[in-house]
Chain A
Amino acid sequence: MAAREEARHHILTVLVENKFGVLSRVAGLFSRRGYNIYSLAVSPTDDERFSRMTVVVDAESSPIEQITKQLNKLIPVIKINELGPDEGVERELMLATVKAGPEVRSQVTELASIFEARIVDVGFDAMTLMVAGSPNRLDAMSDLLAPFGIIELQRTGRIALPKLTRQPTRLRTVKSRSA
């Protein structure tokens, strides 16, 4: 199921001016125009004047071309790159606190090692794991942790860069001009 969902997602990486209110301009645009955000991550870039937003949208329910065009009209939006379903390397981070009493603790740690997750906190009957990876992998991990009993789980939302191929780049610049 997770994999099928993957296929519908488009990723927009949006370079924005690092200024007051930019996140609410972007978020407001999505709600005003009736587009759905699947996930959203905001991070600083190596240039402190800019931040990067990674917006994952459902390509079926949202008109991706309209979204990028409308985003382009926001004045603090500098550049938008669009990654189609297979065009990006996507990673996400997950923290999960699971029930892990003495009788199952070793099973949980074993699962953690299969997923190359790290144990970042241990309590008497619970453990917090951290795992980074593709969204699919995190889905699998959380499915497998579920039977133990998930107490809390958080994911960062994904960040993405274009896949490298023998062609120079698959990055498509869609911001060229605005009105």
Chain B
Amino acid sequence: MKLTGAQALIKSLEMENVEVMFGLPGGAILPVYDPLIDSSIRHVLVRHEQGAGHMAEGYAHATGRPGVAMVTSGPAATNIVTPLCDAYMDSVPIVVITGQVAYSSIGTDAFQEADTVGITMPVTKHNWLVTDAQDIPRIVREAFHVATTGRPGPVLVDVPKDVSNAQMDWYWPDGVELPGYRPSTKGHAKQIKEAARLINQARRPVIYAGGGILKGRAAEALRELAELAGLHVVTTLMARGAFPDDHPLCLGMPGMHGNYTAITSMQRADLLITLGARFDDRVTGKVSAFAPDAKIIHVDVDPAELGKVRRPDVPIVGDSRLVIEELVKAVRAEQSKHGKSDLTDWDRQIDEWRRDHPLQYEQQDGGPLKPQYCIEALRDNTPDDTIVVAGVGQHQMWTSQYWRFNHPYTWVNSGGLGTMGFAVPAAIGAKVGKPERMVWAVDGDGCFQMTAQELVTASAERIPVKIAILNNAYLGMVRQWQELFYEERYSEVYLSPDLPDYVKWAEAMGCVGLRVDTPEDVVPAIEKANEVDDRPVVIDFRTDYREKVYPMVAAGDSNDNVILGPEYGEGGY
């Protein structure tokens, strides 16, 4: 069967079971948009290509399936670099198709020519420039394979216009042949046995669970392991929901804005069972002072993570789910041989920390509206399986701290890159992937202004996402640092509470717009928003700009120095 390269591309996407893609057409990708009309694939027309990339990410986060975005060459390709980098940092499987100028004119500075493959090389797991239409099915197949296997990540396929116009003979490859790509899956049996031995001997063990649990579909296995050996679990920013917050063994988020117990239990641990986490600086604080007494078991599908920051005592390369399942068996064997280890003292210590140092804030009646209160109200007035998406800043940390994530894949955020503007488009992508679920984005006023125009997309496509703006009139997180570390010298962080007018802006974009100034109005507004199901809703919560995120470990400081709150004085712990 003869097809054009463009037809082959769309057909290949269909063969990969792509049901939806996010994009915006232009000159170099025009040939591919034509056969799209006759395809079963739904296309969501975005208002900015960055939105397409984050929607693809949101879709992937929520569904576990690769998100697909398609844009044209040059400026469109550069517009999608940020989402690619974001997906690269957070190991999110997305496939981005870019148009390119005709292969015959590459290198001539043709109109809208950009070296897309060169520009995106450091922010993709792999990328391809298609030089022959005949290669399209093979490359698409490879692209999806690479994006979704091993450590997942973004890939990009750059398709010159003359290649998509050229004829090819259709085929669909049986598999992929990539001799330099063989991700390992099963962990080393001897290492797993050794890990089980350490687990059974530890007196102060903690499971340090990272995003790799979610990427590896290992949440159930993790729970089995934790319950089997009575191990407490911290869930990093990327792993919120990987272990249920309402589980007695769950300690919540560690790191710079983690809770005291999560941070301190890692610091005092004698064994860190690191599963799909990467010792990020936001988790470890000063690396040389991090968990000084702990032996390290480190399980990761990416061998380069083992020993990158902290040298493990037991390194295990493998798929998180498969390794943890084996670990469960090995621990059970240890227990039946040597008996189950007694962790009573450690459990008691942890409970004491929890009791003495809970998260805290105070919402006074009639006082200024506290952001944490808004989040708790949202949490308590939405279904348990609501998908929560966050922007980047204070509101993100509060959401991660105060939400109760009881199910995997209910938390979507930008961790590694910290991309402001992530929330609105990522929420749209998540809602497209999980239309039956309620999707709430908790966004900052600064973040919202970066990508809000995608709510036009959401209105046009009837994607009823809900956005809670925690409007503190500031680039709050930056303000917090200036307050604490730059002697309250505020430089370029004020945004204004009512410029823009968020309600009018929401309405202009086809959404329902609501505004909340006082604590009493919070719950009624949320209830009203929950009833809207035919269009997006935006709530402008006017929150107290003075509120800061605590606990906090100052950047570069040891995790022994947790600042619990403002009452502990400047630099006091």
Contact = CB atoms under 8 A, between A and B. Distances in A.
Interface of A: 16-17, 20-21, 24-25, 28-29, 32, 65-66, 69-70, 72-78, 175-179
Contacts of A69: 303-304
Contacts of B146: 75
The 8 A-B residue pairs whose C-beta atoms are closest, nearest first, are: A69-B304, A179-B150, A179-B302, A177-B184, A179-B151, A78-B180, A75-B126, A179-B183
A65 B307 CA distance: 9
Interface residues of B, number: 26
A77 B180 contact: yes
B129 A177 contact: no
B183 A178 contact: yes
A65 B146 CA distance: 23
Interface string B124-152: 01100101000000000000001000110
B121 interface: yes
Nearest to A22: B180
Interface in B171-218: 178-184
Contact of B301 (A21, A32, A176, A179): A179
B355 interface: no
B183 A177 contact: yes
B317 A74 contact: no
10 contacts: A28-B122, A65-B307, A66-B308, A70-B304, A74-B180, A76-B180, A78-B179, A177-B183, A178-B150, A179-B184
B129 to A, nearest CB: 7
Interface string B418-458: 00000000000000000000000000000000000000000
B117 interface: yes
A109 to B, nearest CB: 46
Interface in B296-334: 300-304, 307-308, 317
Given A28-B122, A32-B122, A75-B126, A17 B301 contact: no
Nearest to A67: B304
A78 B300 CA distance: 21
Contacts of A32: 122
B367 interface: no
A178 B121 contact: no
A24 B180 contact: no
Contact of B182 (A21, A76, A178): A178
B118 interface: yes
Contacts of B122: 28-29, 32
Contacts of A70: 304
Nearest to B185: A177
B317 A177 contact: yes
Interface in B41-83: none
Nearest to B308: A66
